[in-house]
Copies of this chain bind each other. A is one copy, B any other.
């Protein structure tokens, strides 16, 4: 076991190396932006899937053209959110996730709501990204004799999740090194594909094929119908999946090299610019090239097949591979953020404390494992299909966006008040200038909060019945769990507090030695028992068989060395029950003195030998654990071979 773990995750790393495990801007862009950027691989398609409901209704052939205004709308929202978050980064350089910002400025409950939403969405990010990545791979094989690979998508998804989890258990620096290559390969390849598509279209518009409606797919849960505002909002909601992951950087500032905040803000700007470009580009190409959403092939794959022909067809495969790679690795963003957020929650005692500890590779191992398990379950439950997962997705993220921006508004308000108070003292120009600065900031974050809040309501209106209800239900349940855990920890701390405790008291002992016969192990236990309470030791023997009991009594004369032997009856041949009853009797008559059970136990030399002995002492220990005022002492007797 231990050596398998070493092989997979490597040898332990010293705590002292913690400070050195930091990322450069370039590496950080790779680690934190893969989620956001990779969503370009499916966001356009998810919009088209909803518009398809109007397209198949007939007379709505122009329905797909609405992808352009919707995409521009989402890109605008993206820019608002990014600007909003830049402010957060500077104000919370030690990591300004929605949980911290909301908790600091709005209170614990909003903080926990933000935290729960994010945890849920991190799990979904892993599932959605991995599912889309696998779809990119299986798309390549459409129409070939490898098309059956599509049936095994769940297995592929689970394999990739396990792969990323292990990479992350190895530690954050190594993850960065692992993921930088694919991310940059994707960015370059994808941008080139868009540019090439655009150029070919203008040089030779005849390249565009007629629309292909074989295998046309409509978003799950949508019926053919007219192109209503509600449908457009549904398409917009689906497309907003593109925005998830934009907050990753603000959660992960401490992983940046110094100066952390500046580097993080610059990286965020780059990420937003790239995302907007790629997303708008993809939607534009889908529109120009008449691409409709298909059951077994992604939109990107269809587009790639059209433009890369002849000598260039190998480029199609390159696009699919890098898309798959970035999608599968996009899940990595969550593997950086989920454990970090759960460690924050654990440190504030809202999650089990095991999540607060760094494992021996300096990463929060428990959080990584938990994320892998839950996202695996989701992928399995939704059969690895991206479009089934999308309605659950992004709801949590936008809830946390709203809470975080609203928190920033309150933050600026308080900061401004302090500055105004300071500015009232005369002749403090610098502070007065800063005081005017907060007004601008409050407006920026205010716009962010309002925009994301409106979108959140659009989500709930359009996606609720398609799956968003799961998230709406889950977040309050998680918050309740957080609160219950917190109450327990506070309670324990109070009960264990030394507050009001007097000086140490002397203890009076009463010692019981349960014996199964008379042998060296028992003698050793008796010696020990007499050493801690010379005149208060009793040996207890359970009578399972009169004959054997008589023999034990006789031997006791020689070996008991004056210790009182009590024989208890056991009509049902049980060992435990009579012993426990006896302990209860002694406890009642000892008036609050400590009763110590000294258990003789022999330890076999080889593990398999344990199978040859009954484990009564183990069961006894388990049962005694729940008796107050009973101390259990194990006196082991080690066998030689």
Does A640 interact with chain B (Cβ within 8 Å)?
Answer: yes
Verify B496–A520 contact, CB threshold 8 A. yes
Q: Are A528 and B507 in contact (CB under 8 A)?
A: yes
Judge whether B571 and A15 touch: CB under 8 Å: yes
B527 x A507 contact (CB < 8 A):
yes
A90 at the binding interface (Cβ < 8 Å)? no
A497 beta carbon closer than 8 Å to chain B? yes
Which residues on B sit within 8 Å (CB–CB) of A523?
498, 501, 504
What is the oligomeric copy number? 2
A437 at the B interface (CB under 8 A): no
**A496 to B, closest residue via Cβ:** B519
List chain B residues, Cβ under 8 A from A518: 498
Contact between chains at B635 and A634 (CB < 8 Å): no
A641 in contact (CB, < 8 A): yes
Could you say which of B13, B358, B504, B561 contacts A561, with CB atoms under 8 Å apart? B504
User: Does A352 lie within 8 Å of B504, measured CB to CB?
Assistant: no
The yes or no answer to A360 lying at the interface (CB within 8 A) is: yes
Contact with B along A481-496 (1 / 0, CB 8 A): 0000100110111011
Does A612 count as interface, using CB distance less than 8 angstroms? Answer: yes
Within the assembled complex, what's the spacing in Å between the Cα atoms of A561 and B12? 37
Tell me whether A572 and B602 are in contact in the complex, defined as CB-CB below 8 angstroms, given that A498-B520, A613-B353, A614-B353 are known contacts.
no
Closest Cβ neighbor of A600 among chain B residues: B496
- In Å, the complex CA distance between A532 and B506 comes to 10
Query: Is A354's CB under 8 angstroms from B614's CB?
Result: yes
Is A639 on the interface with B (CB-CB < 8 A)? yes
Q: Is the CB of A571 within 8 A of B14?
A: yes
A487 to B, closest residue via Cβ: B641
The reply on A311 being an interface residue by CB < 8 A is: no
Is A567 part of the contact surface with B, judged by Cβ < 8 Å?
no
Nearest-neighbor residue (CB-CB) of A613 within chain B:
B353
A555: B residues at CB distance < 8 A: 498
The distance in angstroms between the C-alpha atoms of A593 and B265, with both chains bound, is 63
What B residues does A630 contact at CB under 8 A?
A: 636
CB within 8 Å for A528 and B12 given contacts A496-B521, A496-B602, A523-B501: no
The reply to whether B506 and A531 form a contact with Cβ atoms under 8 Å apart is yes
B609 adjacent to A488 (CB under 8 Å): yes
State whether B574 touches A12 (Cβ < 8 A).
yes
What separation, in Å, do the CA atoms of A225 and B72 have in the docked complex? Answer: 84
A505 touches B527 (CB 8 A): yes
Contact B573 A360 (CB under 8 A): yes
Give A608 to B630 CA distance when docked, in angstroms: 22
Which of B16, B628, B633 is close to A571, meaning CB atoms less than 8 Å apart? B16
Q: How far is the CA of A506 from the CA of B529 in the complex (A)?
A: 10
Q: Map CB proximity to B onto A384-403 as digits: 1 under 8 Å, 0 otherwise.
A: 00000000000000000000
**Least CB separation from A492: chain B residue:** B639
Chain A 86-117 interface 0/1 with B at a Cβ cutoff of 8 Å (1 = within): 00000000000000000000000000000000
A451 interface residue per 8 A CB criterion = no
A503 in the interface, Cβ–Cβ < 8 Å? yes
Asked whether B488 lies within 8 Å of A509 as measured between CB atoms, the reply is no
Does A75 touch B at the CB level, under 8 Å?
no
Distance, CA A493 to CA B633, complexed state (A): 23
A530 at the interface (CB under 8 A from B): yes
| Cα separation A596 to B532 with both chains bound (whole Å) | 11
Q: Mark A600-627, 1 if CB is under 8 A from B, else 0.
A: 0011100001011110000001000110
Q: Is A631 an interface residue (CB 8 A)?
A: yes
Q: A1-22 vs B: 1/0 string, CB under 8 Å?
A: 0000000000011111000000
Q: Which residue of B lies closest to A572 (CB)?
A: B12
CB neighbours (8 Å) of A485 from chain B are 612
Q: Which residues on B sit within 8 Å (CB–CB) of A491?
A: 639, 641
Is A357 an interface position by the 8 A CB rule? yes
Which of B360, B497, B572, B633 contacts A14, CB < 8 Å? B572
Contacts of A609 in B (CB 8 A): 488
- A638 part of interface (Cβ distance < 8 Å): yes
3 smallest CB-CB distances across A and B, nearest first, come from A496-B519, A507-B531, A12-B572
